[in-house]
Amino acid sequence: MNHLQKPASMTEHRVTRRRALRLGAGAVVAAALAACGDNASTDGATAETEEPVEEFTIVAENLRWDVDRIVVPAGVEVTATIENRDRGVPHNLHIQSPDDPKTELEDGVVTQTLTFSIAEPGEYEYVCDAHLFMSGTIVAV
């Protein structure tokens, strides 16, 4: 072997390392893009509301709600539009307040409406009765 030549195994090792680094970098970029997702907003409340609303839309998709916290005025009639985008999966909106308002469990894709009022200010949990991990908070002020 000439003193200027590198052994074949060293050259192959570098190529393999470069290739691995490229693949790793590509995987990181792909994961970052996937994490961004499609954050198309819906009508009404999204992630959470700060001011009291008398109308809001909540979306059930991929076994989760798109809204975590909703502020509504106490003692006022509120209209919720529930969009179940999970095809063939039953969802409903059940507000665990004294009047216990809820929609029927229905397989998606379907849209339902629920009109309710919460007389007493406070925090109330809402859930999907079929998937209790799908929950959030309604704050009546």
Report pLDDT digits (tens) over 27-44: 444 443 344 444 443 344
State whether 63 and 132 are in the same domain.
Answer: yes
78 and 104 fall within a common domain = yes
pTM of the model: 0.67
Domain range for residue 22? 1-37
What is the C-alpha separation between 86 and 139, in angstroms, rounded?
26
pLDDT in tens, 65-113: 999 999 999 999 999 999 999 999 999 999 999 999 999 999 999 999 9
Structure tokens at 50: 């700060």
Would 66 be classed as within a structural domain?
A: yes
Same domain, 92 and 121: yes
